[in-house]
Structures are given as structure tokens and as C-alpha cells.
């Protein structure tokens, strides 16, 4: 900070470097005193505005957002990030825009708006990849880990924190932050000894770099880990130190945490008077920053910005249309003058004039028709573009809800997925969940494809999460029975005697236990194909869908199968075998697909995926894809 201040003092108010460095100084000062950092950032913004320097203003808005976020004023944080984002998007400042997206994601996660948080984080990572900047991937991994931590998916969080730690160019403060994040993961897992160990690493670095901001933050985390290990007497002095620093530095989040855990200590010690005092303070602070009104305002600011972007686009299109109309009018006037002049010259020719007039009328009618066609064409183009943009956005949401390949790979290292939607979004989906030593996996084909199919897939994913995570069900047949019941209820037309509403899904639901080499499964109008020692084994299921049908009162059956090492397990929807193509334009059919799987089952999993994708494209040729395609392969 001293070095930055010396450079600032040497620069004139007209030098854009001065306002830029003042923004940097404000950011660094916020680690010492949030209020001081805020004052410096506001002065920097005044100077950047006076200099008319938009890029510096965008950067300073980002700094202001981080300070307000640390002060737990999330409304102001979102407001500042939004203003900075407008400028960065307009100037195409991709690196700054990536940073702002990440910071918005952090604030949205604090507000427990994980869907928006994930959206902005993936937007940030997309920009990082465009910039081809490996050195800033480590912070992206940190933020991905934090997102999974907020969603209580601690295994994935630890995976991304370790990826970030493996980066060779991490600063000491960033490394300390990663150790502290791992400590939080271990604390959530109730592995308090590991949590203490990671905390102490972070505290040692904070001491080394002389950062009070990090030191007391990590001291508070160590105190919480001590509480988990029932070391109440060791925890209390650490939390008291953190509380004192939080009050002095206006760090509301730290103050809330310290008060809450001091309350827990005194409640455990039966010091109820002190416990009550700490709980009252905790409640006052927590209510002040987590009110429904605050969260609502933050979301309204986000919506306001999106509306402003749409209005700007509409105004631009209206201006261009108006300019075009003026130009056409001017050309039309010149055309009329030319016609009048020509008419005066040709009037002596009698029949020629008559013919010309008739032709002119025909041209005017043709022009009017052409104008109307062009207008309708433009309107149709705009509508199609809006619909396509909406579906592309829905595609991003659907991809985010599908189980990540990283998560699947933690349980099954060797697998592949061929997923080819027919119309951008898909009615086919796959879903996985790991519970103790069991690994659950479902592949499903919903009624329809495109947008209707995608809606059904989101419904299926939502109910599966509720049944396994919320209701803690374990047997595959009971889960599929419940899934069918939930889907029928959701899509009920209130007419019990009618089977007209037949929306639902076909699919196969598996529970693998790799230590026992067992496979428990339930299948609805689908099957599993196992290739073992150059032979194909078909594991068939029930001939009824997961949805309304004449058999919806019958129960699904649970099947069991003993696996062997090096078995190849395949699941697929009907899109692949039902595709028309080849020399005669006929269906591929399931028999040909099984022969293809058998032929290439000894190849590596990446090679199998490559072969299957290429075969499908070659078979389809120039014909239209008839349905969504999803094919999964696991090697045991």
C-alpha cells in the first residue's frame, strides 16, 4: 500500500493511472479497514468520472462491490457489480467481466440463490477459456469448489480445492484461502481433526504475510473446529479475538459467526445469561443483512439490468428502422420527381403514356406487396430469434442440472456418454448419486423431445433428488414406483377414468455396489446390455412406462445381477436404434446397435465414444435426426 501511495502522489489528476491505482489501493486497504477502503474507492470513482475514463470506472465499481459484499450490504454490492458489468460488456473487457461475474456469483451464493450463482460462475469460466489464461483457472476452481460447498456437495468441493492448490503460480494469500476452504469442507463432514490441521496451515500463512484480515478470519474458523471437537476452552479465546477485530473493522459476516459460536460455547457450558447476550447480538446482525426485503431488492436489481439491456436493443432497432424509413422516403421523393419529368417528356406519345401509367400502377402494387412481405419476414425473423435465444438459454440450464462428469468419474473412472439432443434441448437425461458404497444411476427417455421433453426431464431430475436425498429411499423398484406416482400426480387431468394423458418416461434405474460387484436395477420399457467375454447379456425389465398407463397400478420389479471385472455395461434410449439412414434410408434397429457394441467393447472407453458418434453421423447422413440420442457405457 505504501508503494501504491507514493506512485499516486507523483501523478496528476489528469493521468488515468492515478484513478486506476486509487482503485487498487482501495481494494488493498479493505483488508485493513473496510470503511477506509470504501472512502478511497469513492474518491477514485469521483476522479475516474472527472477523467471520463469508463474502463477505470468499471474496475472501481467491481472494487466497491467487493467492499460492500464484505460489509454484508448485498443490495449495494449487486448494484455496484451491475454498473461495472454494463461498462465492461460495452467495452468488451473480458478479463474484468470474468472477475465481475465471479463476484456476482459469490454474492448470489451468500443469498442462497445457487441457480443464479452457478449461471454467473459458468459465464466467468467460459470467458477464462476464451482468454486462454491458465493462470486464472485456479481462482475459477476455488469458486467452483465454494459453489459445491454451499450446495453441501463436499466431495466435489474438495476435488476443486485440490485442483486449485496444484496450480504452480498461486500467491501465499490465495493458498491460505484454499487451506481455509478445505477446513470448512472437513468441518461440514465432521472431520474436525483434518479441519484443525488445514486451519493452522492457513493461519501460519496469514501470520507470515502479516494479514490481520485473513488471520482473524481463519482464527474464527479454527475456533469453530475446536467446538466440533468439544475443545470449548480453547475455542472461546480465539472467537473473542475474532469478534473484537470484526467489530473494529466493520466485518459483519465475521461478527455474526463469532457471536453465534460464542453463544454455542456458553450454552454448552450452561452459562445461559452470556449465551443469551451473544444470541441476541447474533440475531440482530443476521436479521439486518438477511431480510427477505434485502434479498428481494438484490434480485430486482438483477432483473432491472436485464430489462435495461432489452430496452436498449429495442431502442437501437427502432432507431435503425426510423433511419431506414427516412432514407426510403427520400429515395421515394426522388423517384416521384423522375417519374413526373419522364411523364412530361413522354406525354406526347399517347399510347406510350397510357402503357407507362398502367405499368406504374402495377409497380406500386408490387412495391406495396413487397413491403408487406418484407415486414412479415422481419417480424418472423425476430420471433424466431427470440424463441431460439430462449431455448439456447434453457439448454444451459438443462446442462447445468445434468450430473457432472467429474462427479460420475469419482465413482466410475472408466465411462463415456454420447448425448445428442434432436432440437437443442433434450427429453433424454442421465442422473447419478453416490450414497455410502452404493452408486445410483438413471438413464431416461421422456415423452417427446425439444422443449416439452426438456420440461419432463427437469421434472424427473427434481423428483429423483427428492426421493433419494430428501426421502432417503434405497430400493430401485420402490424409487421408480414413487417416481411414477409423483409424475402422474403432477400431470393429472383430474379424470381418474381417462388414460389420455400418457406423458412420462421410459428408462433404466441402477444401483451399483462395486465392492460387492452387484447390480440392482429396475427398468421401464428399457433394458441393460452387458458385454462379457465376447457375448451379449440382456437384462430386461417391465413392459410399462414411468407414467400413466393401463398398468399404472402394478408395481415395478427389482432385479439383481452379479457383475464381473471388465464387464461392459451399456444403457441407451431408443433414439440411436430408431434413426433412419444407411444406403436405403431404413432404421438402424437394436440388433445392429448391439452388434456394434459387441464389436468395439474391447476398445478403450474414449475410443468407443468416438466410434459410436462417428457411426451415428455416418448412418444418418443427410437425413433428419428423428429423436434425442443418449447412450452410456461403464467398464466394471
pLDDT digits (tens, 9 = 90+) for 149-185: 887 888 888 888 888 888 878 889 889 999 999 999 9
Label residue 498 by pLDDT band (50, 70, 90). Answer: very low
Q: Which residues, listed in sequence order, are joined to residue 446 by a DSSP beta bridge?
A: 505
pLDDT single digits (tens) 380-432: 666 666 666 666 666 777 777 788 898 899 999 999 999 999 888 888 999 99
Architecture of domain 402-635: 4-Layer Sandwich (3.60)
The answer on pLDDT for 526 being more than 90 is: yes
d(CA 574, CA 445): 8
pLDDT for residue 371: 72
And the C-alpha cell for 283? 440475531
Which of 180, 238, 205, 247 lies closest to 33, judged by CA?
247
pLDDT single digits (tens) 212-252: 889 999 999 999 999 999 999 999 999 999 999 988 888 88
Average pLDDT, stretch 574-589? 91
* DSSP 8-state class, residue 423: B
Domain range list for the chain: 1-91, 356-400, 402-635
Q: How far is CA 17 from the centre of its chain?
A: 36
Helix, coil or strand: residue 443? strand
d(CA 57, CA 55): 5
1-91 and 402-635 agree in CATH topology: no
Average pLDDT, stretch 277-300? 67
Identify whether the C-beta of residue 223 lies closer than 8 Å to the C-beta of residue 262: no
Q: Which residues of 464-501 are buried (b: 16+ CB within 10 A; e: fewer)?
A: beebbeeeebeebbbbbbbbbebbbeebeeeeeeeeee
Label residue 499 by pLDDT band (50, 70, 90). Answer: very low
Helix, coil or strand: residue 12? coil
Which of 5, 23, 130, 110 lies closest to 67, judged by CA?
23
Label residue 100 by pLDDT band (50, 70, 90). Answer: very high
User: How much is the CA Rg of the chain, to the nearest whole Å?
Assistant: 32
Give the predicted TM-score (pTM) of the model. 0.43
pLDDT for residue 303: 52
Which of 482, 473, 580 lies closest to 520, judged by CA?
473
pLDDT for residue 293: 44
Which of 468, 470, 461 lies closest to 430, judged by CA?
461
pLDDT for residue 445: 93
If you count DSSP H runs as helices and E runs as strands, how many of each does the chain have, helices first? 22, 13
CB atoms within 10 A of CB 194: 16
Q: Which residues, listed in sequence order, are joined to residue 245 by a DSSP beta bridge?
A: none
Helix (H), strand (E) at residue 140: helix 137-150
Label residue 340 by pLDDT band (50, 70, 90). Answer: low
Number of alpha carbons in the 13 Å side-chain half-sphere of residue 306: 6
d(CA 479, CA 461): 13
The answer on pLDDT for 115 being more than 80 is: no
Average pLDDT, stretch 73-98? 90
Pick from 124-133, 302-311, 359-368, 540-549 the range whose average pLDDT is largest.
540-549
Identify whether the C-beta of residue 105 lies closer than 8 Å to the C-beta of residue 117: yes
pLDDT for residue 145: 84
Which of 562, 569, 477, 570 lies closest to 518, judged by CA?
562
d(CA 622, CA 250): 65
d(CA 165, CA 175): 7
CATH for 1-91? 1.25.40.10
CA dihedral 376, 381, 382, 384 (to 10 degrees): 120
Residue with cell 475459477: 140
Between residues 48 and 374, the one the model is more confident about: 48
The answer on pLDDT for 80 being more than 50 is: yes
Average pLDDT, stretch 55-73? 91
Indicate if the alpha-carbon torsion angle 225, 226, 227, 229 is positive or negative.
positive
Amino acid at each position: 500500500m505504501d508503494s501504491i501511495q507514493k506512485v499516486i502522489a507523483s501523478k496528476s489528476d489528469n493521468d488515468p493511472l492515478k484513478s486506476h491505482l486509487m482503485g487498487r489501493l482501495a481494494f488493498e486497504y479493505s483488508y485493513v479497514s473496510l470503511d477506509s477502503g470504501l472512502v478511497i474507492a469513492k474518491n477514485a470513482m469521483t476522479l475516474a468520472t472527472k477523467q471520463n475514463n469508463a474502463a477505470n470506472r468499471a474496475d472501481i465499481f467491481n472494487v466497491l462491490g467487493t467492499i460492500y459484499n464484505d460489509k454484508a450490504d448485498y443490495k449495494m454490492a449487486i448494484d455496484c457489480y451491475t454498473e461495472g458489468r454494463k461498462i465492461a460488456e460495452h467495452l468488451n473487457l473480458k478479463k474484468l467481466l470474468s472477475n465481475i461475474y465471479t463476484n456476482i456469483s459469490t454474492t448470489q451464493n451468500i443469498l442462497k440463490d445457487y441457480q443464479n450463482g452457478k449461471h454467473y460462475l459458468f459465464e466467468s469460466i467460459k470467458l477464462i477459456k476464451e482468454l486462454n489464461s491458465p493462470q486464472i483457472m485456479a481462482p475459477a476452481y476455488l469458486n467452483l469448489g465454494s459453489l459445491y460447498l454451499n450446495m453441501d456437495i463436499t466431495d466435489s468441493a474438495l476435488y476443486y480445492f485440490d485442483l486449485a492448490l496444484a496450480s504452480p503460480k498461486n500467491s501465499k494469500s490465495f493458498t491460505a484461502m484454499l487451506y481455509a476452504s478445505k477446513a470448512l469442507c472437513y468441518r461440514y463432514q465432521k472431520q474436525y481433526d483434518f479441519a484443525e490441521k488445514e486451519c493452522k496451515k492457513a493461519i501460519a500463512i496469514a501470520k507470515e504475510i502479516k494479514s490481520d484480515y485473513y488471520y482473524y478470519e481463519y482464527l474464527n474458523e479454527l475456533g469453530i473446529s475446536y467446538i466440533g471437537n468439544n475443545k470449548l476452552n480453547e475455542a472461546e479465546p480465539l472467537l473473542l479475538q475474532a469478534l473484537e477485530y470484526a467489530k473494529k473493522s466493520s466485518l459483519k459476516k465475521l461478527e455474526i459467526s463469532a457471536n453465534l459460536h460464542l453463544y454455542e460455547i456458553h450454552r454448552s457450558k450452561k452459562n445461559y445469561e452470556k449465551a443469551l447476550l451473544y444470541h441476541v447480538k447474533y440475531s440482530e446482525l443476521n436479521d439486518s443483512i438477511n431480510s427477505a426485503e434485502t434479498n428481494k431488492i438484490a434480485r430486482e436489481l438483477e432483473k432491472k439490468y436485464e430489462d435495461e439491456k432489452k430496452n436498449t436493443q429495442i431502442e437501437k432497432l427502432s432507431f435503425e428502422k426510423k433511419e431506414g424509413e427516412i432514407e426510403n422516403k427520400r429515395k421515394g421523393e426522388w423517384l416521384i420527381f423522375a417519374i413526373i419529368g419522364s411523364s412530361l417528356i413522354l406525354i406526347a406519345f399517347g399510347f406510350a403514356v397510357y402503357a407507362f401509367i398502367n405499368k406504374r400502377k402495377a409497380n406500386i402494387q408490387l412495391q406495396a406487396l413487397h413491403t408487406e412481405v418484407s415486414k412479415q419476414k422481419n417480424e418472423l425473423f425476430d420471433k424466431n430469434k427470440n424463441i431460439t435465444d430462449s431455448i439456447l438459454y434453457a439448454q444451459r440450464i438443462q446442462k447445468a442440472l445434468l450430473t457432472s462428469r467429474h462427479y460420475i468419474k469419482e465413482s466410475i473412472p472408466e465411462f463415456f456418454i454420447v448425448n445428442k439432443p434432436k432440437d437443442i434441448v433434450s427429453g433424454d437425461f442421465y442422473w447419478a448419486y453416490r450414497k455410502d458404497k452404493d452408486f445410483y444411476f438413471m438413464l431416461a427417455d421422456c415423452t417427446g423431445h425439444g422443449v416439452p421433453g426438456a420440461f419432463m426431464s427437469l421434472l424427473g431430475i427434481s423428483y429423483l433428488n427428492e426421493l433419494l436425498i430428501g426421502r432417503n429411499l434405497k430400493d430401485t423398484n420402490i424409487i421408480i414406483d414413487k417416481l411414477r406416482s409423483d409424475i402422474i400426480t403432477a400431470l393429472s387431468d383430474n379424470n381418474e377414468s381417462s388414460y389420455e394423458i400418457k406423458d412420462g418416461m421410459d428408462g433404466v434405474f441402477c444401483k451399483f455396489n462395486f465392492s460387492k460387484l452387484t447390480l440392482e436395477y429396475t427398468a421401464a420399457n428399457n433394458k441393460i446390455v452387458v458385454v462379457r467375454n465376447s457375448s451379449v447379456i440382456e437384462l430386461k425389465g417391465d413392459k410399462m412406462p414411468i407414467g400413466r398407463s393401463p398398468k399404472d397400478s402394478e408395481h415395478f420389479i427389482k432385479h439383481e445381477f452379479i457383475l464381473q471385472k471388465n464387464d461392459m455395461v451399456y444403457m441407451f434410449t431408443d433414439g440411436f436404434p430408431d434413426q433412419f439412414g444407411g444406403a436405403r434410408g431404413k432404421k438402424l434397429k437394436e440388433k445392429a446397435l448391439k452388434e456394434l457394441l459387441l464389436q468395439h467393447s474391447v476398445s478403450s472407453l474414449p475410443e468407443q465414444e468416438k466410434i459410436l458418434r462417428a457411426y451415428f453421423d455416418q448412418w444418418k447422413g443427410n437425413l433428419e435426426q428423428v429423436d434425442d440420442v443418449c447412450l452410456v457405457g461403464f467398464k466394471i
